[in-house]
Chains A and B, each alone.
Chain A
Amino acid sequence: MKEGRPRSFYVLAIFFTAYVLFLYGPMIAIYVLSFQGPQGGLTFPMNGVSTFWIAKLFQGTGIVDLGASFRRSLLLGLVVMVVTVVLSVAAGMAFRRKFKAQSILFYSAIASLIVPSIITSLGISLEFRIVDDLIKAHWNENFETSMGLLTSGLGAHLTWTLPFGLLIMFAIFNRFDPRLEEAARDLGATPWQAFRHVVLPIILPSVIGIGLFGFTLSWDELARSSQAIGAVNTLPLDLQGLTTTVTNPDIYALGTVISAVSFTVITLALGTIHVLNKRQAAKGSDAGQGLV
């Protein structure tokens, strides 16, 4: 290879920088604008600096009850996170050996990822409507609906998060050395012990990654919630509702608060992954050394 950096490096470095600016620029603009003074409007220049609009959010003066949808989104996100982690790790383990129906599961996951969200969402709402009609016709005339945050809503979100979880598990087990597990078994570990004390500590950083995906994908999910969540609203749905009537910077304040939660979760997850990797490097690095 030639000495130094080729000219294409500099051209592409500028291109890359421009792309990153394009990605972050608008977002930074609204984060800044959410600190407008009380008289501030939707655009620059800033009209004073204050936390007026953010405080206004928490007073709950708006048309919608943001506090309630905040709690709903948080609850749903946490449930989706836990379910996604458990089901993805379990299914990922299953895929390490051949089993019947594995290609059905694989193609379901891929299809769920690429079938347009509105269609999945519509399908779930139709399904629950038909179930509701059946219940009303046969069991209870006064039955309202089985649609809700933790029924149809949870299901809709899982069809979006589980494929990501499964794909991450594939990536993990692609580089996983099965000999470590065999060694544990040869030493007399039960399958559960081998999983708990050997496999899980090794894959833990990526499992946290799956949790991160699960929570944030659900926290920001919109299209799948739109038809499938029932009568209640999540935070992104409220936010979308606000876009049609936007006149005040409170929408930016809401955006900033939602992003702040996302960024907190990302930072926590990445920090934990970093600590775990460090621990693994410190405690697990001499495994097998000096034997061969």
Chain B
Amino acid sequence: MDTSEDVLQPLSPDLVRGSETARPAKAARLSPSFISWLQAGPMMLVFLAFFLIPLVFVVIVSFWDYNEYQLLPAFSGRGYTDTFEGCLAQLPDLCTIVRTYLKTLKFCFLVWAITLFIGFWVAYFLAFHIKSKTWQMGLSLLCTIPFWTSNVIRMIAWIPLLGRNGLVNSGLMKTGLIYQPVEWLLFSEFSVVLALVHLFTFFMVVPIFNSMVRIDKSLIEAAYDAGATGLQTLVNVIIPLAKPGIVIGSIFVITIVMGDFITIGVMGGQQIAAAGKIIETRVNALQFPAAAANAVILLVITFLIITMMSRIVDIKKEL
């Protein structure tokens, strides 16, 4: 007995750790941590070169000086002061730049609220009312496909419907509800919100659906058996359990709308500015530090919203 235990003792850690260490020859050639680096390294390099370093450059350049022709690598707060030029003097009236940020936040909130409402009930229907897995797959695919086509096309698709001579206007005129075309349907705040909801509800449906299908159906049965009404089950069982999906979807929608300037530009008839648009305008005027400063401001606002959101739930744990 003693001897056999002695023999097993040095072997057992290897057996537990698995085959990598059980084969010393292989382990000597390529260590597991080296293989991991080899596998994950390329993706890390892409993020380093095209995301992390550019982000650092945005922050650095936002503190550079500039003139009409070039960037001047010297510390300066001009990017920021130019952005808010004249804002203090104008008080108590809000200056254009502050109004633009507030408008972006307003779009953000409206789109978030609407996509959350639609996304929640669409996901709820798919997760709880569709029993067959095939149907569930098919119907979710149906919701996913438009996401795979160009956003610009989905934006301009509203023109024949909402335009002055569009389907909605001509339909309303034919029924005699109105006598002249409604003008605010297209190139207005209404059409901006409509298009944003149309484009991005997908980002709300998918995460909420994902957390809903994971809910154990017996919990809902248990709630009913314990005498809960439908509403009580919804509020006390389903919503708390679907919260991770709701938060992830919300973060997606909010960050997309915060940075969006293309939808707001196209659907607003280039009349409504957004935070992202300020950046584009500054770039076109070759005022890179000012563009970078606005990017930093936008990033900070977005980051604050996300931090508030992720306090509610640990995102990494839920993936």
Contact = CB atoms under 8 A, between A and B. Distances in A.
Do A and B associate with each other?
A: yes
B168 to A, nearest CB: 11
Interface residues on A, range: 35 or more
A55 interface: no
A9 B153 contact: no
A226 interface: yes
A113 B88 CA distance: 35
B37 interface: yes
B29 to A, nearest CB: 11
Contact of A123 (B57, B118, B165, B166): B57
Interface in A104-160: 104-106, 108-120, 122-127, 129-130, 133, 152, 155-156, 158-159
A93 B156 CA distance: 41
Given A30-B156, A106-B316, A182-B19, A262 B150 contact: yes
A127 to B, nearest CB: 5
Interface stretch (B41-49, B78-86, B94-102): B41-49
Contact of A119 (B39, B50, B58): B58
B266 A243 contact: yes
A159 B146 contact: no
A94 B52 CA distance: 21
Contact of A162 (B47, B71, B148, B157): B47
A119 B19 contact: no
Given A118-B261, A122-B295, A126-B288, A105 B43 contact: yes
B105 to A, nearest CB: 13
B40 A43 contact: no
B163 to A, nearest CB: 6
A166 B141 CA distance: 20
A90 B152 contact: no
Contacts of B258: 116
Contacts of A246: 156, 159
Interface residues of B, number: 90
A162 B43 CA distance: 8
A266 interface: yes
B158 interface: yes
Given A87-B43, A105-B47, A118-B298, 17 more contacts: A16-B122, A29-B157, A42-B163, A43-B166, A90-B42, A97-B36, A105-B43, A112-B51, A116-B255, A117-B259, A122-B283, A122-B291, A123-B54, A123-B55, A251-B156, A258-B149, A266-B145
Interface of A: 1, 5, 8-9, 12-13, 15-16, 19-20, 22-27, 29-30, 33, 42-44, 86-88, 90-91, 93-95, 97, 99-102, 104-106, 108-120, 122-127, 129-130, 133, 152, 155-156, 158-159, 162, 166-167, 170, 182, 185-186, 191, 212, 216, 219-220, 222-223, 226-227, 236, 239-240, 243-244, 246, 251-252, 255, 258-259, 262-263, 266, 270
